């Protein structure tokens, strides 16, 4: 089982963040804005297991925009926005976002230009439940296990708070809690899955941006969606981490994503790798180093004996 998070459907409503907090009874993170976009949580952490990233861009994305940039998107681009069978607007804000622009696009000066060059990318980020998980392989206590659903789960009663997993996760997901020092992250709602329910975030997502299900089915759906988007003129649409072939460093992700830009834009690493995959190099280097150290010790002792 896993997640497919389709960022093109995300409207940034944060229902997933809230649902996750409610179900898992996580404390809030305060109500301060980070000072950039509408993101007030900023990153995944011990008390934030879903995080919605808001990327404000100065480049347009087909299918996204405001009624004001009718020029850019074409005269009929926002036809579907108008209520059926209704000629004019019913909005009291009609003067501000006059829908007449939809039919007869006119240049509106700086605003139109700014809006025309503007798009939002939103992405509900989560623990990736990697097929090869850095956190799991690094954990010295065996606190992190793979569940029968294929997810990666930290057993709070075993974790000893060494924090090794925190640095071993190539996505910066798992975090140590300030009060008792143990590591916490998304559990893929293990308790809900046990009860035959879907994870709280997927349940709450009003746009089906978060889809939960058997991983193969999700992959098929994702491939279909990418095709659909490309056909609609979004050539940037791509999947992130959907299979071992596309992300060999983690052998694929159980929570993969559909993106419309480079992964870096969403704070995702472009080519992550589970650190243990590289660690044989280190062990060999260490073997050489300590062999040298041992030889040096023996050598100086022997040479001193010769001198004595």
Partner 1 sequence: MKTLLERREAARDGRNVDPGLGTLAGEGAEQRVRRLDAGHSERRVMAPPEPELEGRPSYYGMPLLKEPVWKWFIPAYFYVGGVSGASAVLGAASDLLGPRGTRALSRRCRLTAAAGAGASAALLIADLGRPARFLNMLRVFRPTSPMNVGTWILSGFGAATAAAAGAALLPVGPGARRAGDAAAAVAGLCGLGLTGYTGVLIANTAVPLWQGTRRALPVLFSCSGAAAATALLELFPPGDRSEPVVRRFGVLANVSELVMTGVLEAEAGVVPRVARPLRTGISGALWRAGQALSLASLALTLGSRGRRSLRRAAGLCGTAGSLALRFAIYQAGRRSALDPHASFEQQRRGRGAADVVRAQPGLDRALGEKGAEPPATPTLHDPGLAHP
Binding site for ligand SF4 (CB under 6 A): 127-130, 133-135, 138-139, 141, 143-144, 152, 154, 159-165, 169, 171, 173-174, 182-183, 185
Cα angle: 71, vertex 265, 241; to 5 degrees: 115
The interface partner of residue 271, options being partner 1, ligand SF4, none and the CB cut-off 5 to 8 Å by kind, is partner 1
Binding residue for partner 1, selected from 212, 240, 256, 257, defined by CB under 8 A: 212
- Give the shortest CB-2-to-ligand SF4 separation in angstroms: 11
The window from 67-75, 97-105, 111-119, 248-256 that contacts partner 1 (CB under 8 A) reads: 248-256
Give the residue from 300, 241, 229, 237 showing the smallest Cα distance to 272: 241
Binding residue for partner 1, selected from 67, 70, 134, 241, defined by CB under 8 A: 134
User: Is residue 34 close enough to count as binding partner 1 by CB under 8 A?
Assistant: yes
Stated as kind and residue range, the H or E segment containing 253 is: none
Interface pattern 173-202 for partner 1 (x via CB under 8 A): xxxxxxxxx--x--x--xx------x---x
Cα angle: 173, vertex 178, 179; to 5 degrees: 135
The interface partner of residue 128, options being partner 1, ligand SF4, none and the CB cut-off 5 to 8 Å by kind, is ligand SF4
Alpha helices in 88-188 (DSSP H): 100-103, 110-116, 134-138, 164-168
User: Is residue 108 close enough to count as binding partner 1 by CB under 8 A?
Assistant: no
User: Is residue 35 close enough to count as binding partner 1 by CB under 8 A?
Assistant: yes
Rounded Cα distance, 308 and 294, in Å: 21
Contact predicate 134/170, CB 8 Å: yes
Closer residue to ligand SF4 in complex, CB, 97/158: 158
Q: Is 200 helix (H, G, I), strand (E, B) or coil?
A: helix
The interface partner of residue 130, options being partner 1, ligand SF4, none and the CB cut-off 5 to 8 Å by kind, is ligand SF4
User: Is residue 81 close enough to count as binding partner 1 by CB under 8 A?
Assistant: no
Which strands make up the sheet holding 210-213, listed edge to edge?
Answer: 210-213, 2-6, 255-259, 238-240
Contact predicate 175/184, CB 8 Å: yes
The window from 58-66, 69-77, 84-92, 217-225 that contacts partner 1 (CB under 8 A) reads: 217-225
83: which DSSP letter? P
Q: Measured between alpha carbons, how far apart are the two ends of the chain, in Å?
A: 71
The window from 61-69, 99-107, 108-116, 239-247 that contacts partner 1 (CB under 8 A) reads: 239-247
């Amino acid at each position: 089982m896993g997640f497919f998070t389709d960022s093109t459907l995300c409207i940034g409503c944060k229902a997933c963040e809230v649902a996750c907090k409610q179900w898992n009874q996580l404390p809030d993170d305060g109500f301060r804005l980070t000072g950039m976009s509408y993101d007030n949580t900023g990153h995944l952490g011990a008390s934030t297991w879903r995080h919605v990233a808001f990327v404000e861009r100065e480049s347009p994305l087909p299918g996204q925009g405001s009624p004001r940039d009718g020029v850019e998107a074409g005269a009929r681009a926002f036809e579907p926005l108008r209520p059926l069978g209704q000629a004019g607007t019913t909005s009291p804000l009609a003067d501000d976002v006059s829908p007449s622009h939809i039919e007869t696009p006119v240049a509106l000066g700086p605003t139109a230009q700014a809006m025309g060059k503007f798009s939002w990318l939103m992405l509900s980020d989560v623990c990736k439940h990697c097929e090869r998980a850095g956190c799991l392989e690094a954990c010295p206590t065996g606190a992190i296990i793979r569940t029968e659903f294929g997810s990666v789960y930290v057993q709070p009663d075993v974790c000893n708070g060494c924090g090794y997993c925190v640095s071993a996760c190539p996505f910066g997901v798992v975090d140590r809690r300030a009060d008792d020092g143990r590591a916490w992250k998304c559990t893929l709602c293990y308790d809900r899955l046990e009860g035959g329910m879907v994870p709280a975030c997927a349940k709450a997502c009003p746009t089906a941006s978060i889809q939960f299900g058997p991983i193969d089915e999700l992959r098929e759906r994702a491939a279909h969606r990418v095709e659909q988007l490309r056909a609609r003129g979004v050539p940037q649409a791509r999947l992130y981490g959907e299979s071992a072939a596309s992300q060999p460093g983690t052998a694929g992700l159980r929570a993969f994503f559909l993106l419309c830009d480079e992964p870096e834009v969403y704070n995702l690493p472009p080519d992550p790798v589970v650190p243990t995959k590289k660690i044989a190099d280190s062990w060999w280097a260490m073997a050489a180093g300590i062999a040298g150290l041992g030889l040096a010790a023996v050598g100086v002792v022997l040479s001193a004996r010769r001198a004595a």
